[in-house]
Amino acid sequence: MNKKELVEELKRKMPVFSGTDEEREIRTALYIYIELGKMKEFDESYYFGNSKDIRRVMNEAVRNSENPDKISKKRKIICVTMAHLYKSILEDFGIQSRVVTKLFENGQIEHMSNIIDLENGKSISADPQLDMFRVQTGMCLKNFGSESEYNTNVINHEQLIQMLIDVGYIKSKDDFRDGKIEEVKEKIKGLNCNEEVSIILNSPEIYGGNENQGVVEAHKYYFSVLKMLLPDDFGRDVFLFQCSKQIEGKDSDFSFGIYANVENVEDLEVYLYAKSRGRLLRCDLENLIKLQEQGLKIGKNDVQSSVKILKSNMRKFEKKKIGDEPR
């Protein structure tokens, strides 16, 4: 839909907020923030791609940043386009905001986000792109009204929870996905890493309701889940890696996988993200090797430890299989 249609839909579905002018203004901005997070997904060519892909996507985003109609029609965005679209839609609701830019040392754009300037002179920060994976999985938001060098008003956790109830994101604080993730800790107590990963990835508390996630949002979500549930093992014995389909020497159809390193290669279980199912599915090493032969590229490069370890195990598996074959 174009921007006019998008704004009309937001106005039609938005609840009527009560309270002071400031409270209504903030809740309106928060509601739009959440709805945009549901509608869009981060461009995986930028997130997973090489330097050439990143430059191409960034240049296109900068060109499109002043054309909210064009951005509205796109499903895939990056921070540049999301920040400008959010600013433009807020204006249609009578809310003033600014796009703020963080630069790398070489002057290139690192990130863009928003500052909302309320009518009473207060300012609050808003980063709709960073919170997209949380919105799409029902997690508590981290980047609306958070502390920033630009804002003059910080929304504390309790205030934010009440606002999220008011805008219809949750009915109570117990609805956040964060709590459901924490419950899985009880399921994995005393298990080895392989068993822990299997339980985590096959728990409805983790994957349930995530069917409409973007690939990047899913990657960020599972990164967050593994950090929460396996803080000591993630990055040491449990790994997350990206993968892509190689077509005519170019990466496309980006995805990712998760596995736990094990002593016996035959026990190693790899899980690949299936976007059509909105979850990670088990893939044994034999089938992973076949997929690689059919054009699956594992990792961005072979230097990453997650990729080195996995490919080493794949080679061990192949040698063992050859050794086990009857002569």
Residue with tokens 């096959």: 202
Chain centroid, CA 235 distance in Å: 18
Mean per-residue pLDDT pooled into runs of 10, the chain (327 residues) = 96 96 97 98 95 95 95 97 98 97 94 96 96 98 92 92 98 96 96 96 96 95 98 96 84 93 92 95 95 93 91 93 62
Query: Residue 247: what pLDDT?
Result: 77
Which of 275, 132, 128 shows the shortest CA–CA distance to 207? 275
Q: What are phi and psi of 40, to 5 degrees?
A: -110, 165
* Nearest-5° Cα angle at 321, 319 to 322: 65
Query: Residue 199: what pLDDT?
Result: 97
Query: Residue 189: what pLDDT?
Result: 95
**Start-end of H helices in the chain:** 3-13, 21-39, 44-48, 51-64, 68-73, 79-92, 132-135, 157-166, 177-187, 193-201, 204-207, 215-229, 285-293, 305-324
Please list, in sequence order, all residues whose beta carbon lies within 8 angstroms of the beta carbon of residue 16, skipping any fewer than 6 positions away.
none
Sort 156 into a burial class: Cβ within 10 Å, 0-12 / 13-18 / 19+. exposed
pTM of the predicted model as reported, rounded to 2 decimal places: 0.95
